[in-house]
Each structure stands twice: as structure tokens, then as C-alpha cells.
Amino acid sequence: MSTTPLRLTAPDAALAALLAHVGAPVPARHLLVAAALGHVLAEPLRAAGPVPAAPVALRDGWAVVAAETEGAGPYAPLPLMTTPRRVAAGDPLPTPANAVLPPFDLVLEGPFAQALQAIAPGEGVRGVGEEMGAGHVLRHAGERLAARDLPALAMLGVAGVAVRAPRCAWIATGDEIVADPTRDTLAPVFAALLGALGAELRVRPPVPDDPAAIAAALHAAVADHDVLLLVGGTGEGAGDRSAAGLADAGTLDVHGIGARPGMTAGGGAVACRPVLLLPGRAEDALAAWVLLLRPLLLDLMGVAAPTPATARLARSVASTVGLAELVPLRLGPDGAEPLALGALPAGALAAADGILVVPAASEGYEAGATIPICPL
């Protein structure tokens, strides 16, 4: 059987071809707050009213009328005309109290409670709207829900939120993986990468190196997913049939990108769903993640590409014009240290803090240059 030849496309053009199949961000889904952590919000989180809506105790103690404590001290206990109420932190303040006296600053002896310390109005109290004012936007649409947002959501009584979480089908190819699915060591890696980004990876049954079987697997997955990841068999070897399977199922827009590593990546669409040809080798697959998949998922979430961080290059990087080259970087006191050029070997990858993508038209960077850093 003939294979589909590689025709290198610039990474930016390859990404544009995939994005052409994205008409709009994925529809919003409602998740419970705990399940939505790290996901991109589809709607702003806004306080409908002030929080708290009425004054509450900021500490445990006695709810008192502050004016009645004026002049009180340890050696001059002052009887209170208004009966104090014991309150715990967070309790509504009873009328007409306007302060919370610490527990040890009041004694219950004789017919009246006695204050042992003066207190100012509002002391020990959280006033109306001091946590959040009415209309306060806690998070805008497109931002990620963080653990530090949980106390505010609890105060607002929010149990669930709307998020945009692309669903990605993982379809590994290869007769050897069909025989032993544990040989698919990339799925856990991408499950973690996608989960950290706020997307969802769903592992489908592996398929053999057969275009018809691959096409059938793509058709079976397309209805329930926003992106299809076809993994392995993306090269030009006799057993590499993924590109042919995609062409049979839909459209093959790109087979081969002008990048090192990641050269055999590609993509197209099935039933208007973007399909990414993900190489089976880890370093090539991770290059496709940096150059194609992560930007595609951010677009599906409705999130603008973040401004990359920058660092000073510790050593010069010489690159060959014609191919974009990925450089793993370790950040240290002397700047960003290149660990490899045009490769992501496992040891360098494990030590890296980020990636430099050297554009295809560049001959590299001199030591001391300020460079953009892509996250891993």
C-alpha cells in the first residue's frame, strides 16, 4: 500500500489550517465548583448583592453597643444597659449591637454584664459589602477558576459554574498497541497536559494500522468530541497509515510541518471537527502540543494566546534557516540555559522549565538576547 508523502507546512500555516475548522468556542458546560477548578469560565462570576448583606461578627465574642462601653477599663468595669449576645465569627450581628467585644473583656457578675474594655463602633465586625460589593466581578469570562476563588463562591452561594472545556478523543494507532494497550505511554502525558489547561482527554480503543479501521474510528468519535487526536503512524513508513485514514474519513489539510522535532505532525478535519495527527514519538508529540494542539485548545476555549514570558539567553543558539527548531531551556541565575537544539530528549525535557521556538527564518540568538519562552 502506498503512503501519504510528507509536504512540510510552516507551523503557523498548519495551525491556521486547523483553526479554520473552528467556527466558535465550544459550548459552555456547567460543572460543580470542585470539578471546575482550573477550567476556563464561560461567564463572568459576579456578586448579585453585597457580601455580607448585613453586618456579621468578625470574631468570637460579645455583640454590644459600642457607646455603652465608653470609659470602661480593667479597673473600671462598666455595666451595660443593653444585654450583650454571645456570637461566633460569621454570625449576623443582632440589633442594636454595632461591635464585638472579645470574650475576656466582659464579665457576667451581678445584675448587669460589665465591660472591661472600651470598643469603637464597627470593631470586630465585617460591615455590609466589605467582602464584596454588589456587582463585583470575581472572575471574567475567559479566566480560570482557581482554588483561591472558593471562599468567595461559598459566600455567594455558588455551587456550579459554566466552563468551556474541550473534549478531546485520543485514538492511538498501531497493531502493537492493539495487541497490548499498555504500550501507549503517551496517553497519560497528554491527559495531564490537557487537564492542566482545562480540557478533557477521553481515551478511545486503539485501532490497527489500516486506513479503513482508522477512518471508522474517527467517524465513531466525531459526534461526542470537539477535537480528535490520531496518535502514531504519522510518518512515511510502510506501517504509517494515519494520514491515509484521515484522508479517507474527511480532509487531510497538512501532513508534515516545518519544525524539528514534530516534523511528521499534521491535521485536517472530519465532519467539521479538527483532527490532529500526533506523532507517536514523545518528543515529536510534545512539539506538536506546543506548536499546534495547545493554541488550538485555547482558541476553542475562547482564550487569547497569553503573552509569553521572556528571559535572557545564557548561551548562544545557532539554528539552520528553513525549519523552526525547539530548544528546551532551564532557567537559572545566569539566564535561560539551552539544553538541546531541535530536539527534546527525555533528560533535557525533564530538566526544562520552558521551550524556545526558533523561527524558521532565524539563524538563532546570541548570548544575552531576550527570548520568548513557551510553557511546557
Q: Which three cell numbers stand for residue 105?
A: 473583656
In a domain? residue 333:
yes
pLDDT at 3 over 70: no
Q: 188: how many CB neighbours lie within 10 A of its CB?
A: 11
Rg of the Cα trace of the chain? 30
pLDDT at 2 over 70: no
Helix (H) / strand (E) element for 41: namely strand 40-41
pLDDT (tens digit per residue) in 116-129: 999 999 999 999 99
In a domain? residue 320:
yes
- Do residues 173 and 251 share a domain? yes
Q: What beta strand segments (E) does 81-149 contain? A: 85-87, 99-101, 106-108, 113-115, 125-126, 137-139
pLDDT (tens digit per residue) in 226-272: 999 999 999 988 889 999 999 999 999 999 999 999 999 999 999 99
Domains in the chain: how many in total? Answer: 4
In a domain? residue 19:
yes
**Distance of alpha carbon 327 from alpha carbon 373, whole angstroms:** 10
Q: Which three cell numbers stand for residue 362?
A: 532565524
pLDDT at 88 over 60: yes
Give helix then strand counts, H and E, for the chain. Answer: 10, 27
**pLDDT band per the 50, 70, 90 thresholds, residue 184:** very high
- Do residues 171 and 297 share a domain? yes
- Do residues 202 and 294 share a domain? yes
In a domain? residue 239:
yes
Q: Which domain holds residue 91?
A: 56-126
**pLDDT band per the 50, 70, 90 thresholds, residue 1:** very low
pLDDT (tens digit per residue) in 54-83: 999 999 999 999 999 999 999 999 999 999
pLDDT (tens digit per residue) in 126-144: 999 999 999 999 999 999 9
**Distance of alpha carbon 250 from alpha carbon 246, whole angstroms:** 6
In a domain? residue 134:
no
- Do residues 229 and 288 share a domain? yes
pLDDT at 12 over 60: yes
Say what angle helices 211-221 and 242-249 make with each other, to 10 degrees.
Answer: 50
Residue of 220, 231, 217, 346 lying closest to 288 (CA atoms): 231
In a domain? residue 217:
yes
Helix (H) / strand (E) element for 330: namely strand 324-332
Contact 164, 42 (CB under 8 A): yes
Report field, pTM of the whole predicted structure over 0.85: yes
What pLDDT sits at residue 5?
81
Domain-ending residue, one of 267, 301, 335:
301
- Do residues 109 and 71 share a domain? yes
Residue of 244, 257, 309 lying closest to 287 (CA atoms): 257
pLDDT (tens digit per residue) in 299-311: 999 998 888 899 9
**Distance of alpha carbon 115 from alpha carbon 97, whole angstroms:** 14
Mean pLDDT value of segment 43-60:
96
